[in-house]
């Protein structure tokens, strides 16, 4: 066997051995360096907003201007401002957020005046966040008015469920 081949194999074997070690360390990276916080949430929101741009332009004339501003000003998090969960925030990533005492809710309300499945908050096709009461016992209030139909949430408007108040913030 030629000397060159053996040298290449010798060094190649060491390289492969260390490659295994490095790949193994990559596998356990989150243990060693902590979970990496990614910006995926923000990017996904942006790309969705961009995708939705064309149909909106066709629908309504004043919409593009408002969307352009609303894009930057779209709420990015849901904050509980009153009640036992005060301070809790949930990132808004285009998913439906269910509220209630049921343990499988996104936000489990520890509130005697809330129903098991009280309300849900979801984005419509335009990216506008909508709150809908799910037939709760005590009702869901947006500002002062009790909800009867799914209603878009104006920025900063408090949503009251029992003793809990939540807001959408940027």
Partner 1 sequence: MSSNVNINTGSNTTVSPGGLPSRRNTELAMLVFAVLIPAFAYANVGLAKDGEIPAGMLGYGLGLGVLAGIAHLVVRRWAPYADPLMLPVATLLNGLGLVLIWRLDQEPTITTPALGGAMAPGQLMWSTLGVALALGVLIFLRDHRVLQRYTYISMVVALILLILPMFFPARYGARIWITIPGVGSLQPGEFAKIIIAVFFAGYLMVKRDALALASRRFMGLYLPRGRDLGPILAIWALSLMILIFETDLGTSLLFFGLFVIMLYVATERTSWVVFGLGLSAAGAVAVASFAGHVQSRVDNWLNPLATENGAVTETAQAMYSFGSGGMLGSGLGQGYSRLIGGIAPKSDYILATVGEELGLTGLMAILVLYGLLVERGMRTALAARDPFGKLLAVGLTGAFALQVFVVAGGVTGLIPLTGMTMPFLAQGGSSVIANWALVAILLRISDTARRPAPAPAPSPDAEMTQVVRP
Per CB under 8 A, residues contacting partner 1 are 1, 5-7, 9-14, 16-18, 20-21, 23-25, 27-28, 31, 37-39, 41-42, 76-77, 85, 88-91, 101-108, 110, 112-116, 136-138, 162
Whole-angstrom CA distances from 145 to 119, 134, 141, 152 are 15, 16, 5, 13
CB of 170 to partner 1, least distance (A): 8
DSSP 9: H
Q: Which is nearer to partner 1, 56 or 77 (CB)?
A: 77
Q: Which is nearer to partner 1, 16 or 65 (CB)?
A: 16
CB of 168 to partner 1, least distance (A): 12
Give the three-class secondary structure for 142. Answer: strand
Cβ-proximal residues to 52 (8 Å cutoff; 6+ apart), any chain: 125, 126, 127
CB of 39 to partner 1, least distance (A): 6
Nearest to 159 by CA among 136, 135, 131: 131
Q: Which is nearer to partner 1, 31 or 148 (CB)?
A: 31
CB of 61 to partner 1, least distance (A): 32
Task: Dig out the tokens for 35 from the structure.
Answer: 């979970």
Give the three-class secondary structure for 11. Answer: helix
Q: Which is nearer to partner 1, 17 or 65 (CB)?
A: 17
């Amino acid at each position: 066997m030629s000397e060159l081949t053996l040298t290449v194999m010798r060094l190649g074997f060491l390289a492969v051995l260390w490659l295994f070690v490095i790949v193994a360390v990559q596998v356990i990276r989150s243990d060693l360096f902590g979970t990496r916080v990614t910006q995926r949430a923000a990017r996904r929101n942006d790309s969705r907003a961009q995708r939705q741009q064309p149909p909106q332009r066709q629908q309504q004339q004043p919409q593009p201007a408002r969307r352009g501003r609303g894009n930057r000003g779209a709420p990015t998090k849901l904050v509980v401002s009153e009640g036992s969960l005060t301070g809790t925030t949930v990132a808004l990533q285009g998913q439906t957020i269910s509220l209630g005492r049921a343990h499988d809710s996104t936000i489990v309300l520890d509130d005697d005046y809330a129903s098991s499945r009280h309300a849900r908050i979801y984005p419509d096709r335009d990216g506008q966040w909508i709150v809908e009461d799910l037939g709760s016992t005590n009702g869901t209030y947006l500002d002062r008015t009790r909800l009867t139909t799914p209603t878009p949430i104006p920025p900063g408007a408090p949503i009251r469920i029992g003793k809990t108040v939540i807001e959408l913030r940027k």
